[in-house]
Amino acid sequence: MEKLVIEGGQRLQGTIRASGAKNAALPIMIATLLAPGEHRLTNLPELADVSSTLSLLGRMGCPSLVGDSTKIDTTRIAFNEAPYDVVRKMRASVLVLGPMLARQGEARVSLPGGCAIGVRPIDQHLKGLEALGAKFELKGGYIHGTAGRLRGADITLDFPTVGGTENIIMAAVLAEGTTHLRNAAREPEVVDLCNFLTTLGAQIEGAGTDVITIEGVTRLTPASRPYPICPDRIETGTWLCAAAITGGDIEITDTDPAQLTDVLTKLQEAGCTITTSGTSIRCQGPETLRPFELTTEPYPGFPTDMQAQLMVLATLANGESTVTEKIFENRFMHVPELCRMGARIDAQGNVATIEGVPTLTGAAVMASDLRASAALVLAGLSAQGLTEVLRIYHLDRGYEHLVDKLKGVGARIARISDAVREESVMLAALDA
């Protein structure tokens, strides 16, 4: 396996192009199942989760060809199943339930089980699909769903779940009649999915609000033009934090400032100077960061996927910050690792109190989820000395070309075998 080696203390400066959003790409790739034929997607990021989704589609009988414009052929579906070995690696696989029930009348999906950030049940997905007429039974760890033609329904979610909203929309677009989905998730990735479905002929209103209305149609057809995946707001936010934490100056291009309003406000509160123009955001980090309070919430509130990265800024602020996590029950795995780098954090339940320190010091650290790993990279960029970030397969799931992008703005970072222990070899890798 490999690890990242980072020598902290460089002031990062330059431009980074935002990649396509992982969390928009995954549901959109799965939504191609709804319309038999050849689909073309552009701005698809090169990520492990994208490859896993293409391989899942391949196992269902839908081949793909990766390129600047990736082709997915969903003419025939040979197997109605998302097997355990794929779902285990990538929970988003449960999103095949909606499209498969709508197109095939059957879907077998391994139950995802818990993951590092919490139990993550899918009760709201199932409740919505049942309201549309699907029936489910649990056998051997698999959810087996069957349905005749789905029928539109009035559905109110208990919580605005992102995946649940996406699954229900994908089922409802081919249902007979009208579906009103209330308390729906408003995340930009849900809007991107709805925009994509509209290019296939779906009739959807209210995407981006908490009531989405879907008028079912009898068939969908692939669009004649390639569909561009929206920019990744979480990747954008992560690189803005890299500027903030190194007192640097980074401009992110090809992004959408409107999707990051809350993150930008928080960065300003922390003392950063933020300038937006069109599709770019520039962040100039301050000499000393200021403390802040943040609470994660469904969009348009502060995103849980940026919580760990902001917490790293708080570790270096001149005072006490508090961070409250309200979306997932176990999303503080970065805390003990940051403490190993010298951070002073007291986490009680879902509230972390962070007393800023003047500097962090490099250490060997590891995390068990994607955003926690990103936080450790940020900590390493500012820390004194060498930081080794282990288990980087998490980062490969969500950050395209991470090493090249950070090197491009002046970071001392390299990817090497995790068997390497000698400091001299690590330093040589940074100079290569």
SS (H, E, C) 251-302: EEECCCHHHHHHHHHHHHHCCCEEEEECCEEEEECCCCCCCCEEEECCCCCE
**What is the enclosing helix (H) or strand (E) of 127?**
helix 123-131
The nearer residue to ligand EPU, 297 or 355, going by C-beta atoms, is 297
* Distance, CA of 342 to CA of 252 (rounded, Å): 30
Residue 376 token pair? 């450790």
**What is the enclosing helix (H) or strand (E) of 417?**
strand 412-417
Residue 357 C-beta: closest distance to ligand EPU, Å: 27
The nearer residue to ligand EPU, 23 or 70, going by C-beta atoms, is 23
- What's the full length of the chain, in residues? 432
* Distance, CA of 283 to CA of 250 (rounded, Å): 6
Residue 349 C-beta: closest distance to ligand EPU, Å: 14
The catalytic position among 62, 115, 194, 283 is 115
Angle 419-425-426 from CA coordinates, rounded to 5°: 80
Residue 160 C-beta: closest distance to ligand EPU, Å: 7
The nearer residue to ligand EPU, 26 or 381, going by C-beta atoms, is 26
Residue 59 C-beta: closest distance to ligand EPU, Å: 19
- Amino acid in position 151: R
227 phi and psi, to 5 degrees?
A: -100, 125
The nearer residue to ligand EPU, 26 or 229, going by C-beta atoms, is 26
Contact, 410 vs 11, CB < 8 A? yes
First to last CA, the chain: 20
Q: Which residues pair with 429 in a beta bridge?
A: none
119 phi and psi, to 5 degrees?
A: -70, -40
User: What is the b/e burial string over 313-351, where b = at least 16 CB atoms within 10 angstroms of the residue's CB?
Assistant: bbbbbeeebebebbbbebbbbbbebbeebbbebebeebe
Residue 49 C-beta: closest distance to ligand EPU, Å: 8
* Distance, CA of 412 to CA of 409 (rounded, Å): 10
* Distance, CA of 302 to CA of 269 (rounded, Å): 13
Residue 295 C-beta: closest distance to ligand EPU, Å: 14
* Distance, CA of 339 to CA of 334 (rounded, Å): 9
The nearer residue to ligand EPU, 122 or 323, going by C-beta atoms, is 122
Q: Does residue 115 carry a catalytic annotation?
A: yes
Contact, 139 vs 109, CB < 8 A? no
Instruction: Give me the residues that bind ligand EPU (CB under 6 A), please.
Output: 23, 26, 92, 118-125, 159, 161-164, 189, 304-305, 327-328, 370-371, 398
Q: What is the DSSP string of 60-104?
A: TT--EE-SSEEEEE-S-----EE-HHHHHH-GGGGGGHHHHHHHH
The nearer residue to ligand EPU, 32 or 291, going by C-beta atoms, is 32
The nearer residue to ligand EPU, 289 or 370, going by C-beta atoms, is 370
The nearer residue to ligand EPU, 7 or 189, going by C-beta atoms, is 189
Q: Show which residues are catalytic.
A: 115
